[in-house]
Amino acid sequence: MDGENEHNNISEELDVAVRVVQMACSLCQRVQDGLLHNNNNNNNNNRDHHHHQQQQINSKDDNSPVTIADWGVQATVSWILTECFGSENVSIVAEEDVQTLSKKEAAGLLESVVNAVNECLAEAPKFGLESPSKALESWEVLQAISRCNSDGGPKGRYWVLDPVDGTLGFVRGDQYAVALALIEDGEVILGVLGCPNYPMKKQWLNYHQSYYRLMSKLSPPAAGSWDKGCVLYAQRGSGKAWMQALVHDHRKLDQHSYAREIKVSTIDDPAIATFCEPVEKTNSSHSFTAGLAESVGLRKQPLRVYSMVKYAAIARGDAEIFMKFARAGYKEKIWDHAAGVVIVQEAGGVVTDAGGRPLDFSRGVYLEGLDRGIIACSGSVLHDRIINAVDASWDSSNL
């Protein structure tokens, strides 16, 4: 493979990060399959649980499967990073706070999380990592989660984790991502984005997920077929970004033969460019984005994707533009962007705030000082046009 030697130069941190994100994706898939199975199986004896799940489908505050995946990924990633690099060297910024899980009423949830984590860690050797010598106890899982207590900032090194980005996508069997980045002195130095339901080839996005699920129940998909997700990753300053298939056993693959370089799209004409927009309306202003798209001359149907998968779409060349303008009072968090930004940049794209300035990851858990919104583009021609259009239309809108 071309670039094999360059690929061998990836740092040990990036190598471990890619493997642990692969593991985390398999944990999420297991939990998500269980959830979809439950939703499709109304005659199960567990009616209460089913009803409960339906009620809680949009929230993350109880025993819902997305909560199990969230905690499970956080514990797994924390445990593996600590094992590989030593607890004194590992500092992690992440969303989930261990207090909730330590409460008496969360005993059932904790048990589900511990089971998911142990099931996942038992498979570590398949990903070239070491398993614990014996299954972790509840306190060890809580300890791993509680290590994720860094507040980030301008100095030192810390990992930034978003265990399940795109709660609704996860619950609906649609797009979601597992994102892990390493920040050093306020700069993102590497990023990994696991996209379990984002197929390796763009054409397959058009098949609706549920149709695929129905078909795969009838006939198991052929190896290497389109049900595979992907993992994207990049190291700052390398000028390269990579993608590999989601695998369930690294040992069956030659370490580098299945990593392929990805590049942003070369389209710079707005009329044929595709832009990604959020599916969720909660934190972003759809109407402003739509008006902006029109003024820039974007004609194509937008690609509506949940979560940080939008960054993956740009890095891979499936779309050219992603913009997000936060509603008043909403603050962007570093874990929703760090991994995606470095991957898009190394793949050849441009990411700034709406004033054209780089995003500042050095100010704690929020992207403080963000000018209006975030604009990611495959190239500077489109990027300039959008920045200019934002300035022209901002004053007339009343966000």
The catalytic site residues sit at 70, 167
- Tokens 């941190």: give the residue: 13
**Among the residues of 263-318, which ranges form H helices?**
286-296, 309-316
* Whole-number Å distance between alpha carbons of 90 and 356: 33
- Tokens 């009803």: give the residue: 51
How is 341-358 classified by DSSP, letter by letter? Answer: HHHHHHTT-EEEETTSPP
Beta-carbon contacts of residue 60 (< 8 Å; ≥ 6 apart) = 66, 67, 70, 167
Q: Give the SS3 label for residue 336.
A: helix
Binding-site residue set for Mg(2+): 95, 162, 165, 336
CA distances from 77 to 114, 162, 280 (A): 13, 10, 27
**Burial profile 211-226: b = 16 or more Cβ within 10 angstroms, e = fewer:** ebeeeeeeeeeeeeeb
Binding-site residue set: 95, 162, 165, 336
Residue 54: in which H helix or E strand, if any? helix 47-55
How is residue 248 written in tokens?
């369930």
* Whole-number Å distance between alpha carbons of 4 and 34: 38
As a residue count, the chain comes to 399
Let me know the angle formed at the C-alpha of 28 by 23 and 109, rounded to the nearest 5 degrees: 115
Q: Give the SS3 label for residue 190.
A: strand
Q: What are phi and psi of 353, to 5 degrees?
A: -85, 180
Integer Rg of the chain from CA: 20
Q: What are phi and psi of 113, to 5 degrees?
A: -65, -45
* Whole-number Å distance between alpha carbons of 372 and 103: 39
How is residue 389 written in tokens?
């259009």
Chain mean position to CA 229: 12
Residue 374: name the closest of 318, 317, 336 by CA: 336
